[in-house]
Amino acid sequence: MLIHLKLKIMSAKIESGLWTTIWREKKASTAFAIDSLVSLDDGYVTPADSTTGASDEPPLGIYLGKAITSATVGTYLYSNTALVPVAVPIGPALFRATASGALAITSQGMSYDLASAVTVNEASSTYGVVTCVKYVSATEGIFSFSKSIYATVA
């Protein structure tokens, strides 16, 4: 018997548009998942979360480096500030991401918050960080950043 399993990998993947890669210092002792959404916190790159979009934590882009965890023992990368690569939108730019709620075709054009660095929170729109551009499924969509701060970080 052949069983086919489709595993859903939670991440944010660049879909299309205008992106550039910048290198910014990451926050020390902070874990990063591959292809995760990031924001700025006190000038340092940090994983995006449910408060991304608040005036003190603007969205930045998608982290392009390798996974960084506290188990990354003996490396400079986890415990210190270090330059990390981030894809930043510089024009119309889209990314594919997982949604925690139940996206629908009517979600297109709606702005949402983030639940985590890899998940859009379809049930919240306090900060309106991302906008659903295309419905893919109840748990996945194509999004754009509703706010871009590229001009202030380049």
Residue 54 has a pLDDT of 84
Report the candidate in 32, 23, 38, 33 with the shortest Cα–Cα distance to residue 153: 23
Residue 151 has a pLDDT of 37
Residue 10 has a pLDDT of 67
HSE toward the beta carbon, residue 43, CA cutoff 13 A: 2
Helix (H, G, I), strand (E, B) or coil at 34: coil
Residue 113 has a pLDDT of 94
Residue 71 has a pLDDT of 75
93 burial level (CB within 10 Å; 0-12, 13-18, 19+):
buried
Residue 56 has a pLDDT of 75
User: If you ran DSSP here, which 8-state letter would residue 51 be given?
Assistant: T
Question: What are the residue ranges spanned by the domains of the chain?
Answer: 13-153
Residue 70 has a pLDDT of 78
Q: What is the CATH number of domain 13-153?
A: 2.40.300
Residue 110 has a pLDDT of 95
154 residues of the chain, pLDDT tens digit each: 444 334 344 689 999 999 999 999 999 889 999 999 999 988 899 999 999 988 778 889 999 998 888 776 556 677 888 899 999 999 889 999 999 978 999 999 999 999 999 999 999 999 999 999 999 999 999 999 986 555 344 3
